[in-house]
């Protein structure tokens, strides 16, 4: 993992993005030189625009279809579906660009050759990448201290395939009697020191997954030696923060949050975020007005009731505000007056409502909330007061998510399916705490990019 502005990005995926961009660039450059029409170019220097635009558009669309995340590694069918979708849309965009700006976009044979080669290369590069990822040659070797419930979470992470780029060499019991990890993964204790064991196993990182650290529960002297001799030492929250983008609730406490890096607010950060929100919300209002007017008309035609759905939500520092959304349910969705969790395939939604939820069009009126300053474009999902009180009573540190403005989209929204229970709310809070700890303009841009994936791929629809 490499860290940009406090957010972790897998080095392998960053390398894949760079390699593919350069490949697309040189494929387009070759096609332009081999099949291009020199008379279309205003100057020789203009030829550089074509490969750059070709590579940029394909890379952006590959990102939109999740081809720089780990999800495409789940199977060949998923890979082929995403590549075909990306190349198909890229072909349309490039063809349209070539009609109006042939000096900037590839046209004719150079366009056709570039698209075909790029599509095949996207598949081949990833198939090779999948084979390369199966080897442990370039993976970081990690030793885990502990065999209890915390260590078991790391083993679950490995089994689920989320511990990409890592090789867990084993779990050291440290004298524990009860074990929650597989017996074959537990290392036998020897006379070697911790550093000698780590060196023998070729380990470059040690993860501390021990709950009780007082009274000699941890070999502090050995850990200090490892630290001073170049090994990287991580506790469980830092490990999960880096690998999964969450802060596990069972592994953090108030003192850890107080002294940990992050969880900071500042006026400069607020000013930059507010300017960003104003520019983006203003642009969305201008570009999205035709879609919003059409949606409003369809809602009125299908069912009686208001076009907009207004509801009280809890904002930054616990202040309530009124949220605006397009109405996607029948007007008697909560006949008994009690709030109800939204759920998958909710039978209270209208036909238009199901469509606008799937495409996230129902969220567009929230741009007004962003423009007025009640919300931000990126932040934790704003909840209703009833659910906030219910969840805060059951989930520790729930109110920490209210230290930043709520958002139309957010880290939890793009990383976790739509929640409809207290357990789901606990899982989403782990992502919200990561965002609160590490929020930056860079992370906001990453969330917005992944939001396009959610819309295009229909993930998390309820």
**Domain identity same for 311 and 239:** no
Q: What is the pLDDT of residue 293?
A: 92
Whether residue 256 is contained in a domain is answered as: no
**Domain identity same for 282 and 365:** yes
**Domain identity same for 23 and 109:** yes
Whether residue 251 is contained in a domain is answered as: no
Q: What is the pLDDT of residue 145?
A: 95
pLDDT digit string (tens) for 215-230? 667 889 999 999 999 9
Burial class, 9, CB count within 10 angstroms (exposed 0-12 / middle 13-18 / buried 19+): middle
What CA–CA distance (Å, rounded) separates 248 from 426?
9
Confidence of residue 41 (pLDDT cuts 50, 70, 90): very low
**Domain identity same for 126 and 190:** no
**Domain identity same for 164 and 225:** yes
Task: Report angle CA 417, 284, 314 to the nearest 5 degrees.
Answer: 50
Confidence of residue 360 (pLDDT cuts 50, 70, 90): confident
Contact call for residues 162 and 178 (beta carbons, < 8 A): no
Confidence of residue 40 (pLDDT cuts 50, 70, 90): very low
H or E element, residue 424 = helix 422-438
How far are the Cα atoms of 207, 286, 367, 407, 411 from residue 279, in angstroms, in the given order? Answer: 43, 11, 11, 15, 21
pLDDT digit string (tens) for 419-444? 668 888 999 999 999 999 999 989 99
Whether residue 21 is contained in a domain is answered as: yes
**Domain identity same for 412 and 276:** yes
| Res. 43: pLDDT tops 50 | no
Query: Domain end: 111, 134, 157, which one?
Result: 134
Confidence of residue 36 (pLDDT cuts 50, 70, 90): low
- Return phi, psi of residue 330, to 5°: -70, 155
Contact call for residues 205 and 231 (beta carbons, < 8 A): yes
Question: Mean pLDDT for the chain?
Answer: 85
Query: Domain end: 134, 167, 198, which one?
Result: 134
Confidence of residue 15 (pLDDT cuts 50, 70, 90): confident
- Return phi, psi of residue 425, to 5°: -65, -35
Q: What is the pLDDT of residue 347?
A: 63
**Domain identity same for 196 and 337:** no
pLDDT digit string (tens) for 316-328? 999 999 999 998 8
Report, as an integer, the average pLDDT of 326-354: 69
What CA–CA distance (Å, rounded) separates 374 from 367?
10
Whether residue 462 is contained in a domain is answered as: no
| Res. 37: pLDDT tops 90 | no
**Domain identity same for 205 and 291:** no
Whether residue 255 is contained in a domain is answered as: no
Q: In this predicted model, which residue has the larger pLDDT, 452 or 44?
A: 452
**Domain identity same for 115 and 164:** no
Whether residue 252 is contained in a domain is answered as: no
**Domain identity same for 13 and 64:** yes
Q: What is the DSSP letter of 108?
A: H
Structural domain including 451 reads 267-457
Q: What is the pLDDT of residue 434?
A: 95
Q: What is the pLDDT of residue 73?
A: 67
Query: Domain end: 90, 114, 134, which one?
Result: 134
Report, as an integer, the average pLDDT of 71-85: 81
Query: Within 13 Å, how many C-alpha atoms sit on residue 430's CB side?
Result: 22
DSSP H helical ranges for 359-421: 366-372, 385-394, 411-415
| Res. 406: pLDDT tops 90 | yes
Q: How many domains does the chain have?
A: 3
Share of the chain above pLDDT 90, in %: 43
Neighbours of 328 (CB within 10 A): 21
pLDDT digit string (tens) for 108-157? 888 888 899 999 999 998 888 877 777 766 788 999 999 999 999 998 88
**Domain identity same for 48 and 72:** yes
pLDDT digit string (tens) for 237-293? 999 999 899 999 988 989 889 988 888 877 888 898 999 999 988 888 898 899 999
Whether residue 100 is contained in a domain is answered as: yes
**Domain identity same for 97 and 166:** no
Q: Which CATH number fits the domain that encloses residue 160?
A: 3.40.50.720
Contact call for residues 232 and 206 (beta carbons, < 8 A): yes
Whether residue 324 is contained in a domain is answered as: yes
């Amino acid at each position: 993992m490499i860290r940009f502005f406090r957010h972790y990005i897998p080095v392998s995926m960053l390398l894949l993005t760079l390699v593919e961009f350069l490949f697309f660039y040189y494929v387009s450059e070759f096609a332009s030189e081999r099949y291009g029409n020199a008379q279309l170019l205003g100057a020789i220097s203009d030829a550089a625009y074509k490969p750059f635009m070709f590579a940029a558009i394909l890379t952006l669309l590959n990102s939109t279809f999740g081809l720089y995340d780990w999800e495409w590694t789940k199977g060949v069918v998923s890979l082929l579906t995403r590549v075909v979708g990306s190349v198909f849309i890229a072909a349309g965009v490039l063809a349209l660009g070539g009609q109006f700006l042939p000096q900037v976009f590839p046209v004719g044979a150079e366009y056709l050759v570039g698209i075909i080669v790029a599509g095949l290369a996207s598949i081949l590069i990833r198939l090779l990448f999948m084979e390369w990822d199966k080897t442990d040659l370039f993976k970081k070797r990690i030793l885990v201290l502990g065999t209890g419930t915390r260590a078991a979470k790391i083993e679950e992470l490995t089994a689920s395939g989320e511990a990409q780029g890592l090789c867990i060499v084993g779990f050291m019991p440290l004298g524990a009697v009860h074990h929650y990890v597989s017996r074959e993964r537990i290392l036998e204790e020897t006379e070697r020191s911790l550093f000698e064991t780590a060196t023998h196993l070729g380990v470059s990182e040690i993860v501390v997954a021990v709950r009780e650290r007082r009274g000699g529960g941890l070999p502090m002297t050995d850990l200090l030696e490892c630290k001073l001799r170049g090994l990287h030492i991580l506790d469980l929250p830092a490990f999960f923060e880096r690998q999964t983008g969450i802060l596990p609730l069972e592994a953090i406490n108030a003192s850890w949050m107080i002294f940990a890096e992050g969880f900071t607010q500042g006026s400069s950060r607020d000013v930059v975020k507010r300017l960003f929100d104003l520019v983006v919300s203003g642009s969305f209002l201008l570009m999205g007005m035709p879609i919003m007017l059409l949606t409003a008309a369809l809602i009125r035609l299908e069912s009686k009731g208001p076009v907009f759905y207004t509801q009280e939500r809890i904002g930054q520092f616990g202040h309530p505000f009124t949220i605006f959304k397009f109405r996607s349910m029948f007007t008697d969705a909560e006949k008994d007056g009690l709030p109800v969790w939204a759920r998958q395939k909710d039978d209270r939604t209208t036909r238009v409502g199901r469509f606008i939820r799937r495409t996230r069009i129902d969220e567009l009126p929230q741009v007004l909330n962003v423009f007025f300053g009640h919300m931000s474009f990126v932040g934790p999902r704003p909840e209703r007061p009833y659910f906030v009180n219910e969840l805060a009573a059951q989930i520790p540190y729930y109110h920490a998510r209210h230290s930043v403005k709520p958002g139309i989209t957010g880290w939890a929204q793009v990383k976790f399916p739509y929640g409809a229970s207290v357990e789901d709310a606990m899982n989403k809070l782990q992502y919200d705490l990561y965002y609160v700890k590490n929020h930056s303009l860079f992370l906001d841009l990453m969330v917005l990019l992944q939001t396009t994936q959610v819309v295009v791929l229909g993930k998390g629809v309820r």
